[in-house]
A and B are shown apart, each in its own frame.
Chain A
């Protein structure tokens, strides 16, 4: 069965890009444009990994994360932070990686592969 990745970002262009990238590399990908939608999608599809932009209107990236880990079944899902902000390491302390936009796609795919195969 394909591994599932949930992409949370407010920029539709970047959602498109990541969705295509993950699908092309053999993953199932789901997208969400805000926290509410993200939580709904996470509950519905139980992703194996989440990529999260942390600086979005309303600053709900970290809030989304806090709500997600309160859900037992989602608590241990690995998170990769993909953000334009530098120094975002501390925003989500438990993130398995934090990469900056614009990112190197091979590097991102490498991190995903290491995490979920």
Chain B
């Protein structure tokens, strides 16, 4: 396309001749002979070159100065008498590329125009580069912002599963580990995980996803949904893989909770029905006993009503505990006081089932930090379980449950509960701490040991069980004297070694 030239000159004869000459040189020329014309053309069109007597009059000079100064590419060439040119140089300085003396030398003019054209071209090019650089810079900023703002953990990994880039959320929760191995940082493993989605993506270039449990620097565990995407170079080879992990811990927790609440309603009802029937029985016998003035029957019936209300109360409390897991209220307790309270509750139960209950506590067991109400409830639960195991056993004539408290190394307290009841088969042993698992048929709710175990774990303790069918069971409960400092995301501390 031909260069657009605005020719400013009030000497019409001269400008006409010049226009003809320029058009022969393939320029597209527009004439402006008055200030109004100059103003109009400069305002309404973009010119490659403004050529002419720029000091035609004062207003024109000002207009040229203002408008061309604001347009990036317009190049100016001035011509005039020696005096005029001098004035123009003072006025425009470097803004004008060439000052030509009248009469014009045609070669000089042609060269000046070419030079102006070249400068114009260079300036356009520069401007385009600047624009692109700005765009690039903005894009990179935006990319970084997105990378950091995405509510996911993002890492970029090389073929050795080393992290080469990470977003700020990852850095916050897992630390800055550029160059570290993914499996080490996320999972504290020493070798790569089975079915690593990053490895799979390196192999087939497709997106893969898994659900994982990872551990943050604060020791919290998170459930994450991990997805991968390949990063390719120009040739299309996969050089790195991006791994995006979304924290779904809350969703999983809620889901677990809802699932088990639903499950609870279904499976609890059976136990509740048994208890209600037994309560009916107690009330019936109390009523008929009173009518018949049968004191023995009344006494027995009252005992049964009391026992059933206790059982129902306990179960309702367990359900409440499960429906709303509350935080533990730690207090420093004398261990002997905890044991005394537990013994008081369990003695009558053992007596009723004709089970001998033996307790051994060292002289000065000391103190421990516990939530007394839950810790006692948990220990009572284990002991009741031991008594029940004896009560169900019809093969031995004498039954005994022992509670032995010992203070062991590492500042832990050990509660060992031994019974010579029916014992457990392997299935029962494996599932006994599972929610709603019960071996007691209609008399169990499947909540007791689940909650007791959970309470011990919440205190940072462990429960070990050995059991032999028809011989009995030993529950060994190890508890730290001090409350645990780290808690995992599900409210449970990492178990003590």
Contacts and interface: CB of A to CB of B under 8 A. Distances in A.
Interface of A: 10-11, 13-14, 16-18, 20-21, 24, 53, 55-57, 84-85, 100-103, 105
A17 B273 contact: no
B89 interface: no
B288 A101 contact: no
Contacts of B280: 17, 102-103, 105
Given A14-B274, A20-B288, A84-B270, A55 B281 contact: no
B284 A84 contact: no
B155 interface: no
Given A17-B282, A103-B277, 8 more contacts: A13-B278, A13-B307, A16-B300, A17-B278, A56-B442, A100-B273, A101-B276, A102-B277
A10 B273 CA distance: 14
Contact of B441 (A18, A21, A55): A55
Nearest to A61: B441
Task: Please tell me the size bucket of the interface on B.
Answer: 20 to 34
16 contacts: A11-B274, A11-B278, A13-B278, A13-B282, A13-B304, A13-B307, A17-B277, A17-B281, A17-B284, A21-B284, A55-B441, A84-B277, A85-B270, A101-B273, A101-B276, A102-B276
Interface string B289-328: 0000000010010001001100000000000000000000
A14 B440 contact: no
B274 A101 contact: yes
A58 to B, nearest CB: 8
B273 A102 contact: yes
A11 B442 CA distance: 8
Contact of A20 (B273, B279, B284): B284
Given A56-B442, A57-B440, A20 B278 contact: no
Contacts of A20: 281, 284-285, 288, 297
A18 B297 CA distance: 14
A21 B282 CA distance: 11
The winner among A13, A56, A57, A85 for most chain B CB atoms within 10 A is A13
Interface string B421-450: 000000000000000000111110000000
A22 B308 CA distance: 21
Contacts of A105: 280, 284
Given A11-B442, A13-B304, A102-B280, A24 B288 contact: yes
A59 to B, nearest CB: 9
Given A17-B278, A103-B277, A10 B441 contact: yes
B303 to A, nearest CB: 10
Contacts of B308: 13
A65 to B, nearest CB: 17
Nearest to A33: B394
A99 to B, nearest CB: 10
B495 to A, nearest CB: 31
Contacts of B288: 20, 24
Nearest to A104: B280
The winner among B273, B288, B439, B442 for most chain A CB atoms within 10 A is B442
A70 B274 CA distance: 30
Nearest to B269: A84
A17 B275 CA distance: 12
Contacts of B271: 84
Contacts of A55: 270, 441-442
A16 B304 contact: yes
A11 to B, nearest CB: 6
B442 A84 contact: yes
Nearest to A9: B442
Interface in B202-219: none
Contacts of B441: 10, 55-57
A37 B442 CA distance: 19
B316 to A, nearest CB: 16
Contacts of A101: 273-274, 276-277, 442
Nearest first, the 10 A-B pairs at minimum CB distance are A17-B281, A13-B278, A84-B273, A102-B276, A101-B277, A102-B277, A101-B273, A57-B441, A84-B270, A56-B441
Contacts of B442: 10-11, 53, 55-56, 84, 101
Contacts of B279: 102
B276 A57 contact: no
Contacts of A21: 281, 284
Contacts of A13: 277-278, 281-282, 304, 307-308
Given A10-B443, A55-B442, A57-B441, A16 B285 contact: yes
A21 B273 CA distance: 18
Nearest to A23: B288
A105 B269 CA distance: 20
Contacts of A17: 277-278, 280-282, 284-285
Nearest to A16: B281
A18 B276 contact: no
The winner among A55, A100, A101 for most chain B CB atoms within 10 A is A101
A111 to B, nearest CB: 16
B390 to A, nearest CB: 14
Given A10-B443, A11-B442, A18 B274 contact: no
A47 to B, nearest CB: 20
